[in-house]
Structures are given as C-alpha cells and as structure tokens.
Structure 1
Amino acid sequence: MTKNELIAAVAEATGKTKADVSAVLASLAEVATKALKDGSDVTLGGIGKLSAATREARQARNPSTGAMIDVPAKTVVKFKVAKDLADTVA
C-alpha cells in the first residue's frame, strides 16, 4: 500500500478529506521524529512501537575486496509490532 492509497483508505473510513488525513500523517511523522530524537518511544496503538537504539561500533568485511572496515556506532530506529497485529496477520 502506497502513501496515497493509505491516505485514500483512511479518508474513506473516517469521512475526513484526503487533505486532512495527509496533514495528520505529516504531523505524525514530525512528532515521532522529534520524540525519537529526544529519546522517547512512540507507541502506535494496535500497530506497534518505535524506539531509538544505539548500534555499537564494529568491524565488517567488504564483500568485494575482502578488506576489514570499521563501521562507526550510530543510532537506529527499531520497530516492534504489536502482538494483536502480529497474531491477526499470521
């Protein structure tokens, strides 16, 4: 499902305009990004939870040359699907 398809489906299900739904989704992305940057988790009821985690620095092998390279530590976003959703889809 594309973003436009999602917007259309939510607009139809809620009776709101596509513009309103699009604005809500854009705001959701902004609010979630800010919360994750601040170190908070973002729970999307019935869908799952977004959280920020630190990935440690490590060494990896370049597959084309075989040389070892250093991969620096970085912060990544993790998503854990809600149990109800996982059970429904499975």
Structure 2
Amino acid sequence: MTKAELIAKVAEKSGLSKKDAEKATGALIDSIVESLVAEEKVQLVGFGTFEVHHREARKGRNPRTKEEITIPASAYPVFKAGKPFKDAVSK
C-alpha cells in the first residue's frame, strides 16, 4: 500500500475528504517523526510502539581495500507491533 492508497482508505473509512485525510495522515506521520527525533517513545495502544535505538561506533573493514575503518555511531527507528496487531495479522 502506498501513501496515496492509505490516504484514500482513511478518507473512505472516516468520511473525510481526501484533502482532509491527507492532512490528518501527514500530521500523524510528522508527529511520530518529531517525537522520535526528540528521543521520545511513541506508544499507540493496540497498534505498537515506535522508539529510537542507538548503535555504538565500531570497527569495520572496507571489502575492496581490506583497510580497517571506523563506522560512526548512529541512531535508528524501531517499531514493535502490539499484541492485537500481531494477532490480527497472524489470522
């Protein structure tokens, strides 16, 4: 499902116009991203949890030159599905 298809589905199920559904969907996504950038956990009960995990800096190797390099530390988003969501998908 693409973002456009999601917006159309939200508009259909909620009775909103596509323009309003696009604003609502965009606001939801933007709010989740802003919270994760601020290192806040986002919990949507019955759906799941978004949070930021951190990866330490580590040593790696360039496969072409076999030269040792340092891979910098990074942060990455993680989503953990809630139980009702998992149960609905597994049926």
Whether TM exceeds 0.5 here: the answer is yes
In the other structure, the counterpart of 1:16 is 16
C-alpha distance after superposition, 1:28-80 (max 9, x if no partner): 12211221122211123332111012111112233444433211111111111
Q: Where has structure 1 moved over 4 Å in runs of 4 or more?
A: none
SS in 1 for 2:12: helix
Q: Percent sequence identity over matched residues?
A: 39
Q: Which runs of 5+ in 2 are unaligned?
A: none
Deviation at 1:83, TM superposition (A): 1.5
SS of match in other structure, 1:51: strand
Q: Structure 1 stretches of 5 or more lacking a match?
A: none
Alpha-carbon separation, structure 1, partners of 2:14 and 2:57:
45
Q: TM-score, normalised by structure 2?
A: 0.84
Aligned residue pairs total 90
Q: Spell out the pairing of 1:1-90 with structure 2 (5 A cutoff).
A: 1-90=1-90
- RMSD (Å), alpha carbons: 1.6
Taking structure 1 as the reference length, the TM-score comes to 0.85
